[in-house]
A and B are shown apart, each in its own frame.
Chain A
Amino acid sequence: MMRFLLPLVIFIVLAGFLFVGLGLNPREVPSPLIDKPAPAFVLPQLHNEKKTFSPEDMKGKVWLLNVWASWCVSCREEHPVLMALSQQNIVPIYGLDYKDKPEDGKMWLARGGDPYVASAMDREGRIGIDYGVYGVPETYVIDKQGVIRYKQIGPVTPQNLSETILPLVAELQKK
């Protein structure tokens, strides 16, 4: 009896591990920046290069930092979601135009609509490295103290928006 039972148990355990592994996304790298202060930067704004944007300006507010680019394919997917969110006036969305030419960025926003209060230009991707950006789009939820509370890797979808991001924003706004 034991002769058959033991291999069977081992097989089931192994199959269980492999099954769980199937559902994991190997491309998703958990960010070490969660619950750490958002890295500081001062960057020119896309629509007005003379003006700058800095996370410091946002102290006291809960806000979203969305890393996007005109060349990014998945950004097209999340764009309508961000447009709808910006019209609801729940939380301000700021953009980080990552490794993009200003003309291209402006053109892309002119065509699809601009959900951002302002977009900062990270032409060489240096600020992106400070934020641990490795796959655009990425979205950070930053609280009133300027601490990163959540990072959405990949596009914002209606599902992760209503299930994760918006409840977190509401909770942070109450504090």
Chain B
Amino acid sequence: MKKLLILLFCLLPVFAHAGEAQDLAKDPVLEKRMIGLAEKLRCLVCQNESLASSHAELAEDLRREVRELMQKGMSDQEIMDYLVARYGDFVLYQPPVKSYTMLLWFGPFALLLVAGLGLVVQLRKRRETVPEAELTPEAHQRAAALLNEEDKS
């Protein structure tokens, strides 16, 4: 009796199935395309997670939405525009170049330029301020003596 029960329990997983994987099986090509696009999109409720990797409920809904839009024949760009119209540029991991993202895109280069110019100016200035050291005759003699000493040894 006990063995039969154990056997029955062992058979239980046969009836188990993963609901979420179904869509993947239906159309693997579309699913791959969806994941590819979802990796470029940000999950709204979780900080710094892509739509592809998030398990949040909203992310699942949005993946479903993306999947359905793809089935309708929309291009990746159209789907991105669709989501931007609803959630704003925040959903894009790569922010578009706009007037208010200029600082974000070009700020680092501007900083590099400023730092580079600063360095050049600083180096020039130093060259001017450090005069060629002029040796007194005594120092010359000492230097020569030291050099000679080295030659001997």
The chain A residues found within 8 Å of chain B, CB to CB, are 26-27, 29-33, 99, 124-126, 128-132, 134-135
Q: Does B144 contact A (CB under 8 A)?
A: no
Closest CB in chain B relative to A135 CB, distance in Å: 6
Of all chain B residues, the one with the shortest Cβ separation from A136 is B58
Contact size range, B: 10 to 19
Q: Which of the residues A32, A125, A129, A135 comes within 8 Å of B88, measured between beta carbons?
A: A32
Closest to A6 in B: B118
Against A, the Cβ 8 Å flags (1 = close, 0 = not) of B56-67 are 011001100100
Per the bound structure, the CA–CA distance linking A99 and B86 in Å amounts to 18
C-alpha gap A27/B43 in the complex (Å): 11
Chain B contact residues: helix, strand, loop or mixed = helix
- B47 to A26, Cβ gap below 8 A? yes
Those of B59-108 within 8 Å (CB) of chain A: 61-62, 65, 84-90
Cβ contact within 8 Å between B44 and A129: no
Q: Quick check: B44 and A33 within 8 Å, CB to CB? A: no
Q: A134 contacts B58, CB within 8 Å? A: yes
Measured between beta carbons, the chain B residues less than 8 angstroms from A32 are 84-89
B86 and A131 form a contact (CB under 8 A): yes
Given that A134-B44, A135-B45 are known contacts, is A30 also in contact with B61, CB under 8 Å in the complex? no
In the complex, the number of residue pairs spanning A and B with C-beta atoms less than 8 Å apart equals 40
In the bound assembly, the distance between CA atoms of A131 and B88 in angstroms comes to 11
| A129 & B84 in contact (Cβ 8 Å cutoff) | no
Instruction: Tell me which residues across on chain A come within 8 A of B90, comparing CB atoms.
Output: 29-30
**B44 & A29 in contact (Cβ 8 Å cutoff):** yes
Complex interface: chain A residues within 8 A of B57 (CB): 99
Q: Tell me, in angstroms, the Cα distance from A33 to B87 when the chains sit together.
A: 8
The answer to whether A132 touches B86 (Cβ under 8 A) is yes
Q: Among A27, A33, A128, A132, which residue has the most Cβ atoms of chain B within 10 A?
A: A132
Q: Closest CB of chain B to A108's CB: distance in Å?
A: 18
Please judge, given known A-B contacts A29-B90, A134-B44, whether A129 and B85 are in contact too, CB under 8 Å: no
With contacts A29-B88, A33-B86 known, what are 8 further pairs, Cβ within 8 A? A31-B88, A32-B84, A32-B89, A99-B61, A129-B62, A132-B88, A134-B44, A135-B44
Question: Are A125 and B61 CB-contacts (below 8 A) given A26-B47, A29-B44, A135-B45?
Answer: yes
**Interface residues as binary, B24-60 with A (CB distance below 8 Å gives 1, 0 otherwise):** 0000000000000000000011010000000001100
The 5 nearest A-B residue pairs measured at CB: A134-B44, A132-B86, A32-B88, A29-B90, A132-B87
A134 to B65, CA, bound (A): 14
Central interface residue in A29, A33, A130, A134, by most chain B CB within 10 Å = A134
Return 20 A-B CB contacts under 8 Å, by A number: A26-B47, A27-B47, A29-B44, A29-B87, A29-B88, A30-B88, A32-B85, A33-B86, A125-B58, A125-B61, A128-B61, A129-B61, A129-B62, A130-B86, A132-B86, A132-B87, A132-B88, A134-B58, A134-B87, A135-B45
